[in-house]
Structure 1
């Protein structure tokens, strides 16, 4: 199935049923790993909002939720490499177990910025739960990436919270940018 957003065409990559099943498994693992703790889940806006909502429905343990908003894409389909913090955190994380919830880890620059910022707040632990991971795009290893829904190739994706020029976040499935014969 193909869709069109602005000037780009996209092909179906992951159906919502696959995402739901994997999210359920991630939730089960988090419930086990944090059984005797009260973690703080920190969603990275805007992209993580659908994944965070579905993931938190699978969490049975006591927990708190918070959000931060950072950006390095600025409406394009490639990272600018410049991370700007747009909305800060308003919860005390000292000696707390923190789980950062990401929609996608691409170059890792945004995540490194978030981790560096949160480590200054002296949490007991920090782990990352990301729906998507592009191992081929990571600019350095990030040991805190503990929970991953799907590893994907270095392709531009949209849907299920991920956008292209602000559009497509509302799609329930995830799509990859189509390549024309001249791009291969």
Structure 2
């Protein structure tokens, strides 16, 4: 069933059941990789909040949770390429393994900025886990991007934390813009 947000129509793309299954798989892999450590999961707000919550529930090892808030879309359908930092990291990550949790990686501009910023804080390691990845939109080489839920076409999407004009985050499925 299609949904309407403001003037735009979106059609189903990825069901919550499919997202949940992939999140379990990623969580199991992360739990195995970081067994014996206490990693810091850093969610990038606002978009990652649903994925982050579901992901950490699947990682049954000691871990810390923190958030940062960055944006580059500012309500539109495309990135403005201007990165705004609204909420900085409030935990010391020096010498710690960091798993950066993103909702979506498209151009990679925000992610490159964020990885470089976190590296300056001297963590032991940084690994990026993104729910969605648009390889056709990518403009940067980001070797830290190790875990991807789903590779998708370069289409605008909403739901499961992703928004259009701050609306649509509450849908449990992911929807793509109907052209």
Tell me the TM-score range normalised by the shorter chain: over 0.9
Q: Is the 8 A contact 2:112 2:140 kept in 1?
A: no
* 1:100 match: secondary structure: strand
Could you say which residue in structure 2 is the equivalent of 1:116?
116
Could you say which residue in structure 2 is the equivalent of 1:182?
none
* 1:55 match: secondary structure: helix
Provide the C-alpha distance between the structure 2 equivalents of 1:50 and 1:33, rounded to a whole number of angstroms.
22
1:55-94 map, 5 Å: 55-94=55-94
Could you say which residue in structure 1 is the equivalent of 2:54?
54
After TM superposition, give the deviation of residue 90 of structure 1 in Å: 1.1
* 2:82 match: secondary structure: coil
Provide the C-alpha distance between the structure 1 equivalents of 2:53 and 2:93, rounded to a whole number of angstroms.
21
* 1:154 match: secondary structure: coil
After TM superposition, give the deviation of residue 17 of structure 1 in Å: 0.2
> Could you list the per-position Cα deviations for residues 21-55 of structure 1 after superposition, in whole angstroms to 9, with x for gaps in the alignment?
00000000000111121100000000000000000
Q: Name structure 2 gaps, 5 residues minimum.
A: none
After TM superposition, give the deviation of residue 2 of structure 1 in Å: 1.0
> Could you list the per-position Cα deviations for residues 49-93 of structure 1 after superposition, in whole angstroms to 9, with x for gaps in the alignment?
000000011010110000000000000010000111110111111
Could you say which residue in structure 1 is the equivalent of 2:127?
127
1:20-39 map, 5 Å: 20-39=20-39
Provide the C-alpha distance between the structure 1 equivalents of 2:141 and 2:10, rounded to a whole number of angstroms.
29
Provide the C-alpha distance between the structure 2 equivalents of 1:156 and 1:54, rounded to a whole number of angstroms.
22
Could you say which residue in structure 2 is the equivalent of 1:19?
19
Please report the TM-score for the alignment, with normalisation by the length of structure 2. Answer: 0.99
Q: Is the 8 A contact 2:2 2:9 kept in 1?
A: yes
Aligned length, in residue pairs: 179
Provide the C-alpha distance between the structure 2 equivalents of 1:164 and 1:20, rounded to a whole number of angstroms.
22
> Could you list the per-position Cα deviations for residues 109-128 of structure 1 after superposition, in whole angstroms to 9, with x for gaps in the alignment?
11111111100000000000
Provide the C-alpha distance between the structure 2 equivalents of 1:87 and 1:137, rounded to a whole number of angstroms.
26
Provide the C-alpha distance between the structure 2 equivalents of 1:94 and 1:165, rounded to a whole number of angstroms.
35
The alignment status of 1:99 with 2:99, answered yes or no, reads yes
Provide the C-alpha distance between the structure 1 equivalents of 2:36 and 2:151, rounded to a whole number of angstroms.
29
Q: Is the 8 A contact 2:69 2:87 kept in 1?
A: yes
Q: Is the 8 A contact 2:70 2:87 kept in 1?
A: yes
Provide the C-alpha distance between the structure 1 equivalents of 2:10 and 2:62, rounded to a whole number of angstroms.
39
The CA RMSD measured in Å over matched residues stands at 0.6
